[in-house]
Structure 1
Amino acid sequence: MDKQLTSIGFIGLGVMGRNMAFNLLKSGYSLNVYNRSKDKANLLLEQGATWCPSPKEVAEQSAVIITMVGYPYDVEEVYFGENGLLKHANEQTVLIDMTTSTPTLARKIYQAAKEKNIEAIDAPVSGGDIGAQKGNLTIMVGGDVETFEKVLPVLKVLGENIVHQGAAGSGQHTKMCNQIAIASNMMGVSEAIVYAKKAELDPEKVLKSISAGAAGSWSLSNLIPRVLAGDYSPGFFIKHFIKDMKIALDEAEKMNLELPGLALSKKLYEQLAENGEENSGTQALVKYWDIF
């Protein structure tokens, strides 16, 4: 795919989406953008992006359209609404939903697109705001392999670890695996640093020791330093993490699978959300212990 001839639409300019869109602009792509709050698009517009007043205009002007919105109901509206992508996209358009959503909805989009001679893949990501800024996200893709290969040059601008997982919905199922692993890991790294604080150790020194050994993880190396700096700003919102955990638990129930670690993590994060932390980053889990 010749990027100089390709016009990309981007819908959803939050913490993740805005940085991803910037990387596409910097790589020379023509970008048509839409977000419910136009002010979040201002910096992109200053850099040459074109504003579209609704998903309809994005669909009409773009050969590839990426969506990065908040919740499955937002995905439903963007794709199936009156001004939605499936109603207004041109034939041969490629739709890439990078929102963490449900496998069921991913398959629904794929089938509806196919009936209109439109291509669709689900491609949720991992790596947080840091990965979005650096363009080194992990991207998990479900859908036809031919479509995946067609848009791979676009995906390579956004990420480095890009894997085609299988049929439509497979990307979302893989993202659930990712979130399940993170959920228990966040409890572990939070308890570790709380324990260090309670034992009157220097948390910075503890982090230096344990992050380089068998306890090492992305969350320990990237999120706990934010905790120690008193930074609870969202690389990933607690409210969105709760949404993801609910999806994973719903899918697990359909498979008659019990996930006690995930259930406990969801319970802890829901308590934080009830205490007003829903817009904090996931590292705010340490506030559960009221030590930091």
Structure 2
Amino acid sequence: MNIYDVYRVLLLRQGPIHEFTIVMDDYWQRYNYFEFYQIILHLSRKHTIKKLTLDGHDDLEFIWYKLPESVFTLHHLTDLCLSTFEIDHPSIFKGFGSLQRLDLSYVKISTKTLLHLLSNCPSLKNLSLVSTHLNIWEPGDKCTMNELLKCLPVIEDLTMSGDVSEWLVLDSVPQELPISLIHLKYLCLSQRCLVERYGSSLLLCLLKCSPNLERMYLEMENDLEFSAVKDEEYSDVWLERLNDLQIYFCTDSLETEFVKFILARSPKLKKVTILTHLVDWKRKSKMLKTLLRAPCASEGVIIYHR
């Protein structure tokens, strides 16, 4: 069914619509977007939409579509997933009071707009930022860790992927973070999110303010400096509820220090899964022996290696 047919069906439909999905394809390369904008406008005026998914990905050409302003009038949304859009909230935006899940994938959005959007989603529990293009088109368009965390007071599930270090910077005094993510249960940092200069500091900063984490998935694709885990600044980090850690890294030395750090501070840890690119069995064996002999706060932890 093409977009025109979708629009026609919507106009004829009598019952309410609470969930709606549009996945764009090469059709959009040949036709204008009038019907698409009309569909979103119609939904905003005639229906109480709670779950909306708009996927603008095109297999033929990677482009961004301008997100219709009428999306920001869907005040009853609980789930919003946007992929491959350029986002700029209009002056009429008054917030998504009921939004619990926000998924932004391969979007263009300034940090100012992102922070304004997040700060007006007071019920947000699940946030996914997956993009190497996220808010990086204006020089100096960055935000600090504090600015981001202040917008996520009840977050439970946080996923960040891509070149986060290009737009998210650490505060001058990270040890004095003003907010604690006490509700955060799952943390996922992947696809070059943790890179050399700021990667280790970003991760340790998040751990320091997330005492109730239960699960973590981390990808460390570059050498990171974890000497800071021995500093007094992080001596009070205690992951009381962490039970599952999955970690991918390329080396066997610096990242091993981080795993030892987690083992010593996670009394309920049950499973650690390590994935590496190491092909030398002797190095793998040495790494595993180091971890198995490391001080461990949990008596029942099992370490897997793939």
TM category (shorter chain) comes to under 0.3
TM value normalised by structure 1: 0.27
More helix by share: 1
More strand by share: 2
Q: Which has the higher contact order (CA 8 A, sep 6+)?
A: 1
